[in-house]
Structure 1
Amino acid sequence: MTETAPAPSPSFTLALLGRFELIGPDGAVSLPNKKLAGLLAYLACTAPQPQHREKLSTLLWGSHFEAQAKQNLRQALFKLRQVLGQSALRSDGEFISLNAVVITCDVPQFERLVRKGSRDALTAAADLYRGRLVDDIAVNAEGWSEWVAGERERLSELAVGAMVALGDQELSDGRAGDALLAGQRANALNSMREDAHRLIMRALSAAGRNAEALKYYQAVVAFLKQELGTAPDATTSALAAELRKVQEQKIVLPAADPTADLSHQAEHVFGNDRPSVAVLPFRNMGDETEQDYFADGVTADIITALSRFRELVVIAAGSSFALRDKGMTSRQIAQQLGAQYVLSGHIRKAGNRIRVSAELTHTGSEAQVWSNRYDRPLVDIFDLQDDVSSSVAAVVDPAVRSAEIERARRKPPTDLSAYDLYLRGLHHLWGGTREGIVKAIDLLRRSLSLDQERTATLAALAWGLVMAPPLGANMSADAASEAVGLARRAVEQDSGDAFAHAVYGFTLFGPAGDNDQGRIHASEAARLNPSSAFAWGVLGMIDSMGGDYANALACLHRSLVLSPEDSMLHMWMTGLTASYFALGQYEEGVAWARKSVRHNPSNGTGHRMLAANLVGVGRLEEAREVTRVRDAAQKTTIRDLRAMRFFKQHEALERYLSAQQIAGVAD
């Protein structure tokens, strides 16, 4: 009996979803022109169906005379056979088809996975869809333009449908966080698809974030009215009505009993390592009783905003408000509530302005950790309430963290818990130096060895591994992939942790090169915690590198306003100077670069951006001096800077590298 020879393995793989990419046995293959790439893309998408020669010639050369179009097609087929081999194209008289045995393409594979419909298949299909069909192929031919526009829309809708279907399965399996990500990916592809919006709403509600789901619905209502002049469909409106019922039927806990001893409450529920904060009702110092409502609203909103910082235990509003007017001191209240820190404040109206004063006290030592005053015009009372509460919450978190770090640094080295090691690691992590980042990674690894499930430690270590190379620290070859894995674990453990999402977004955008998915996670971080300067800073950095410079400036400036004393200021300032460089606003770029390197002289990218902007304004000698000083601390070449690829946009990157060459950076 004669055995049948196995079918030969494909010699070429063709990626069309996103950028055109042809890979042969010896690596990437370049085609001579766009029309040749377009012809191959069309044959791959329609394979194995044979295509008539006249249809192919009209597709790409329809504006030519018939004889010339046919001649161009013959030449194109000849060139393709030269690149792919004689067996890659099959010819049957007037018909041409692509041999799928020789060349495989991601488009048919994507469509097969979508049709299969299992969770694994849909996950693979979503990962395979890297962007619009041949996004980088532009052919000036009417037939091609019509075909590619239709195919792009069809495949995009398939991708959205696959992501929504995947999200539905994730929800059925109890994975609300994964369902939310699937919905966000679908929405990023087509913001008009209400099934994607509904998936996001359902996922938020399933994750216990019902109020956010209803708030998201209101945003959808406003968006559809603005873009389409219409209201959500009946299915979306019905879902919102269901969510409102859930919200109304939530069990309201009784007010805290002020006579009860709550000193062990935080420890019992959360463990004894995270710092706990009690926000006492802010006092109205004026005569107008309506300001009482404003003071209570600010207090409640601060509690809500602080609760979004996962490293804090925030005493519930019911407990804090229950002890008001009981004649107790702040320390007595703190002891009653089991809080290590107390935030108190008062509000005074003067004319058409509101003044809010707040202070944070460590209850054990009675030392004032932080205080500030906020003066705001009295305009829309709800906007004012949001502004004040967000501003206060944004600075209280780093203030508590700094106090906790200082406490951990005073402890004997032989008596360090996983949390103490984590805090000591943060001290070096945010310092932004080469030596500090190495110490931070070591301390965070030691902390993780004692507590492998701590979300904040996983995310912090991932951040350290990502930031080490730009600071000049030597890392292993797998450090980038390890960072992605650690950040993914952090998000999987707590899908509501804004810090974890921000770090995961940055690792995906940078080391992994998954720009769209990285931005989704960074956007989710800012949505989860609008008071997080870190979340807004990371989103701004991603947009600064990715090319959305206007949004980068908005996010980075917001980060600076939220936390003006933050240790990460140098990084957000670097993002600003990079954005101004890309926009050609070099004077602004110079100003922010100088601020960045003053804030952290070890910030190598800040020095490089300063040199580039100085070249932009024509101050070449200053630029070369900046390069000389920086090279003395850490030598960097044009090849190194190209590999770092700070700018994802080709034009901005080439202009940046050219400026570095002028500034004296070696090839």
Structure 2
Amino acid sequence: MNSPALAPFRLNGREIDLRRGSVSDGAGATITLRPQAADILRVLAERPGTLVTKEELMQAVWANIAVTDDSLVQCITEIRKALGDDSHAVIQTVPRRGYVLDRGAQKAAVRPAIAVLPFRALNVDGQWARFADGMTEDIITDLARFRDIPVIARSSSELYRDKAEDVRAIGHALNVKYVLAGSLQVDGHRLRVTAQLINAGTGEHVWTERYDRQTAQLFDVKDEISGKIAATLTGWEGQLSEAERVLTRRKSGIGLDAYDYWLLGVEARNRMSPAGLREARTLFAKGLALAPDFAPLIRDMGITYSIDIQIGGADRAAALEQQGACMVRALALDPNDALTCFFMGSYLTLKGDGEAGDRYYQRALELGPNNADVLVLLAWAWSYSATPERGAEMADRAIRLNPHYPFWWNSALTRAYFHVRAFEKAYTYARSMGATAPNEAAMLAMTAARLGRREEAARAAESVGRMDPDWTVEGMYSFYLPPRPAQLLVESAVLAGLPVCMTAAQLEGNKGAARFQECDAVRARQG
């Protein structure tokens, strides 16, 4: 049963899921077809606009079983009733021959996207408020592992924190079918978590759960909520393999204090500043002293070194080795974490093994197909590759899942669109990022120059020189140069009035860096 017709699709305004044998209308009502009727619909859906004979249908559904034409007619009648096809316009009868499914009535269905609203912290202190936010983020991350559940990223759903908006308006604004809302309340050592899965189209509750547990069972509750959502939206039996179920569960042996150090460290890391990175590493170290095998702490420690490289850490080589050591250890503990796989790929790529790095990038995509942060990181990484179109595709997908993305995304989006010559888009994101660092100012200068905005390009190029007098575009791309001529970069830098080539002395001090072929000739002439 590997037919493409098994993927959910729309037919006559209904959503069809043949893996469940269900037909759902816009009001949320669902009809489950008999297995034989579902098989008939499957065969017709595989060949839309084509006559399927009665003999073919009988053979596909009742092979080696003696039945009359009445069995087929009853199935067709059942299907038409479920589809609201009273006029027989969707499934057309060809007298004495068979049936045709109207090609125009069949469309690919939008998969049941979900937004997880920030869990409300009721009557709790700052630590438990952070735990409520951590629970929200963890549920989003768990759901993003499922290909069949597009999940809106937290920075977009965060806009609706504590707002008394109709859930139907939220669903419309975020283009989702389901919304999860919940709250967390603590009384001593007792924890109460409530969760409600709501159909955003109708405002009706799909299910409501209340969990009364010990506070130490917070992580078990989070896993139960994620699992129940997955079961509800995809069908627990058949569609989800046991391996996929395992991926939704995290080890819960971490204590609450270590978890809090992790949350605080992530907050510090996301400031994207040298001071914030140092603070994050201190907090992660405290968490690891309490929970040395909690993989997210180790992974995020490694990510701080990756950020150090991007923003110009003092010793890029040493930071790269620290990043690699953390990712090796984190992968040993959790080989199925998408972010860990991405940053392992980043480490290997920067070490010069792009083929191995790309294998980890692909693995990250497999494990986090709906994780918006993973997608935008892949957009950034693949924008430098020999096939930058992959980067732009990832950028498009990430924005659909997180239209209200965090500030740091602008840097990745700029590069993703610049390298496919979508200069108008790249310029928009470069302006949003601003001249926050030499590399970002350079991207603004180059995209503005490409659009003929000469004065703006000149101002941005001037700011590059003020921030780093030794800056060159070759040095900017020294770790990421794609395996092809750098014509686009050289042309853009020249248009913007930016220095292009490193000197021989700069190249000597940056051993192992990639080089522009165009600059080798320049250095040769300089002697």
TM-score w.r.t. length of structure 1: 0.38
Report the structure, 1 or 2, having the larger helix content. Answer: 1
Structure number with larger C-alpha Rg = 1
TM-score w.r.t. length of structure 2: 0.47
Q: Which has the higher contact order (CA 8 A, sep 6+)?
A: 2
